[in-house]
Structure 1
Amino acid sequence: MSTVKNGYEWAKELPYAVTVCDTEGIIIYMNDNATNTFAKYGDNLIGRSLYEFHAERSSAMIRQMLAEGSSNSYTIGKAGVKKLIHQSPWYHNGEVAGLVELSIVIPQDMPHINREA
């Protein structure tokens, strides 16, 4: 059985990028995949502001998600790889405490299954 040291050990080796920020947009956690994905910005981004790495339009969206507790999802394509990006608030004692971003590589032609029928 493994021990949880910082509360994030479960995410350390996930096969997709996990980045967590606080209510000020300061990065407080990146798993191994996120660290590799964003290595071009520096060796250690913990303690740095998300706003350093985003244009004003994206920064405004981050501020809005933090203020409203809203989420944002979209897909991107880069270098022949398609990813699903999902950004969502995380909470502490019922209050928005920051955001979590998941960046997951997905198939180019990912099936969509409608389970309402």
Structure 2
Amino acid sequence: MQSAQNISLSLPSQSSWGLSTEIAGRPVVRGVLNIHSVSGRTVIGTGNFRGTPVPIHGTWDESTKQLSLETPFATFSGQLQIFDSAEIRIRHLILSGRFVLKASF
């Protein structure tokens, strides 16, 4: 079995990402992140957790593969990893980081 290859690639725009999160090992949130455009360091898109798209604005640092997103309800900061599994001909794009809900008053 071949090991995964690391690939150098920019954040893909016009892309959809499945979102899932866990608390204490149990899945609690599922949704979709749509990246509509990446222009320079600016990322624009939507997040959809319950059928209503929420606008997302953020920044992308190509050199560190760091993505920071801001919504009216939460912030996210994380790192993008991209690798290919040659044996199954699949490209994996994994965004992992910290998702923090904002207090609402």
Structure-2-length-normalised TM-score: 0.33
More strand by share: 2
Structure-1-length-normalised TM-score: 0.31
More helix by share: 1
